[in-house]
Amino acid sequence: MIMYYSDGNEKVYVKADLEGNNCKNIFSQKSNEIQSITGDGTYYYFDNSFQVANGSSKEQKITVCDENLKEIDTFKLPNMDTKTYNFFAPQDENCFLFECFNEKDERCLVMADKSQIGTIGGNTIKFKELCKLKWADDKNNNDAVAR
C-alpha cells in the first residue's frame, strides 16, 4: 500500500505492506500534483485532480505505474461540469468506473476497459456508458449536485 504524511509544507509518500510494516519513503512533493493514489494489485494510479471544469486548461490526468512505481502509461478523463466530482476507481482487474457527461449533457456512470493501458499515451481514455445518474438531477435529493 501507499500512504502519505505531511508536515504542512511537504507530502512524503511511503510504501508498506498491508500490515503497515516494511515502510519505505518513495518520493515527496511540495505541490499538490497528486491528489489521490489508488491501486488494483497490478498497477498504482496517480490522479492529479479531483475536479476539472469544462473549458479549463487543466485536465484530469491519471498516471499508471507498476508495483515498482515505473510509469507504464498516462491518460486523461473527460472534463466535467464545475460542480461535479470526477471520481476515478479501478474497479477490478478488467475495468475502471467513473462519472462523466454524455453528448446530451446527462450525467452518467461509465466504464473503461483496462486493456487500453499501455496504448493510451496521454489521450482521453475510451469508455462505455453504463447508466444515467438520474438522482443527480433530483433537486429534492440532498445528495444531488446542482448544475
Instruction: Report the pLDDT averaged over residues 51-79.
Output: 79
Per-residue pLDDT at 51: 60
Which residue did the predictor score with more confidence, 90 or 63? 63
Mean pLDDT, range 2-17, rounded to an integer: 80
Which runs of E-coded beta strand occur in the chain?
A: 2-6, 11-15, 24-29, 36-39, 44-47, 61-65, 71-76, 89-90, 95-101, 107-113, 128-132
d(CA 140, CA 126): 33
At residue 134, φ and ψ (nearest 5 deg) are -60, -35
**Sign of dihedral through CA atoms 127, 115, 17, 13?**
negative
